[in-house]
Structure 1
Amino acid sequence: MKRTLINVVVLGTVIGSSLVQAGGFDRSGQDTSIILKEGNLLEVLSVSVNPKVTGKYGAAIGGGDTGETLPNYSYTTMAFKTDISDEVSIAVIQDSPYGAHVGWTSGTVGSSYSGINAEIKSSATTILGSYDVADNVTVYGGLKSQSVSATVANPLVNGYTLTTNTDSSMGYLIGAAIQKPEIAMRVALTYHAKIKHDLAAIEAFGASAYPSAPLSLYTPEAFNLDFQTGVAANTLLFGSVRFAKWKQFIVSPTVYVGAAGQPLKEFTQNPTTYSIGLGRKFTDQWSGAVTYGTESAEGVEGGPMGPTDGYSKLGLGVTYTGDKATVTLGVQKVDLGDIDVVGPSVLSAKMTGNTALVTAVKVGYKF
């Protein structure tokens, strides 16, 4: 397949990155677009996320401000792709597909969520291969080695803590793309299989540790639909739809569930993420784009491990293209969905009017 692209499409990847997908757990979006690009490439993407997520505690637990509940964080994704022949290419992608970090900072312990902290980390290495089965059709697929770990501290449940090892498991992905180069059109559909992790968990209440069954987690199976098409000279419409079966993702440690009567985190819906953008090539070196994205809210009451519900986002970006290198800068303003955080039969906190600022830099090099 002749992989003809207008450079502005890279902005859709850069300013589409965000912490907020699926309540903050879906981070990289599992982008595999490098396998469909032309030539031998190395790409590095650096993303910084600054959320401002606060609320008011309910009167039943003392009232007052919650303080910040989501710390700042950053991550880096690397991808390499080379052509083996006119029809065959391979790529290696290193990313952090999933993650979460909550930290409730204000209020008096015992009458608020102060001191609740939880962090889930992941890392994945994906090896992809593609084959051009016709002038305008490419199929691709590969294997993914993914690692996950978790830590939790919840002083409200008898000083509960959880620590796990880092478990590594294998998964796979497959996809196909069709292209019409004369109008810069491409549509790609990628399927990511769910991956099971059996984590060795140590649960404790204060200084008393308890035996625990393995903590089994499933990162969800997902479908990514990515598209682009020229709509005028040097102007590109592009976007994506991501559907992940988030109800497969349940954090349910045995001892905690026995004490609290509910999982640490679970989803009641499978929210779908949408984005659309318009890019414009101004000169041979400079291009820009604007994107809009949204994710449907679950629409249910939540807990302290998920203090947002759905979002809308607006992003701007600019790309400079040289002979060998391409540099893209992007910024994104995210309006986070409101949610009521509830405890046993009472309103614990009301989270409203929250935002996040995402900045990203992507550097690509052709060789």
Structure 2
Amino acid sequence: MRLVSVNQLQAGMKLAKKIYNDDGMILLADGVELTDTLIKRLARIDIGYIYIEDSLTDDVIITGMLEDETRNQALKVIRSEFQQMSGASGITKGFYHLDKKFSRLMDSILDDISSQEDPMIMLLDMHTTDSYLYVHSLNVCLYTLVLGIAYGYSKEELRVIGLGALLHDIGKTQIPVKIVQKPGMLSDEEFHHMQAHTEIGYRILKEEPNIPLLAAHCAFQHHERIDGSGYPRGLKGPQIHEYAKWLGVADSYDAMTSNRIYKRAMLPHQAVEALYVGSGTLYEQKQLELFRDRVAIYPLGLTVKLSTGESGVVVRIDPTIPHRPVVRVLNGVEGEAVVPFEYDLRTALSIVIADVADQNEPAAKQS
């Protein structure tokens, strides 16, 4: 399968991975043949990239970070609980049930991720922008757990940071929807309201009897930055809890790589570059280095251009050297089709990925 921009889709191509709606239900199933009508529909609901079937890369199998059942259940729980809280006075009333549902969910998520030999941060399943808050909450949890496992946290520490990540944006349930989903730039007053979600989230979570206080602090501090430029309190370096620093990286990365109402998604390598601009000022350098080593910056199925002038598709990734994947060359230096062959960039050290294929150019018909 291949990862392509919606701008590159052509009628007759077949979907290789499911697309989900905001209920975690399947919007389009894998194997569906795309029509002009379906392609326009995908563009309207702001799907940025999808996987398509391709005979030249049919051996490229892309699996999720979670089992389908776990992922669907997670999205249902997040959506149900967050919607129940929307518009309610969660700060004063208290809910006193989040711990049971989210603690059980965290156990399932941890079991799935821990069962993987060498978990990596992968480009995840495609969803509509309407489901952003729910999917973002789950993605940040997954990314943070992968980083926590690589860092060496214990299972109990992972449960705490995982709950903090899963619930880090719960305060947004108390922010007016017209602000949370505004398609344009927020006014100063609206931005002030949006910033309040960190303190609101903290006040909600600290009232939950069995939600660890550190998880509440994750919600409170995930927008703090080590140079003091973050919010709500402008904390610096050691004043910010280590868990919240990890969340800050994961939260920023997912925001960059997700399609939003007001912006198109970045590809992983672009988002990692953007994060590194803040190395030592916004984010801890050592945390960014571990993040870089755990993220598949060139996702499976992505079309890349090599320093040789040839182009091809990423077909395998070594978790220990994710930035040096195996690339199956499909086009020569003049763009002509060639008999496919592979470069293993782990050993072909003179070759590097020079660029990612222009995602705005129409794609060639697939075999």
Normalised by the shorter chain, which TM-score bucket? under 0.3
TM-score, structure 1 as length reference:
0.26
The answer to which structure has the higher strand fraction is: 1
TM-score, structure 2 as length reference:
0.26
The answer to which structure has the higher helix fraction is: 2
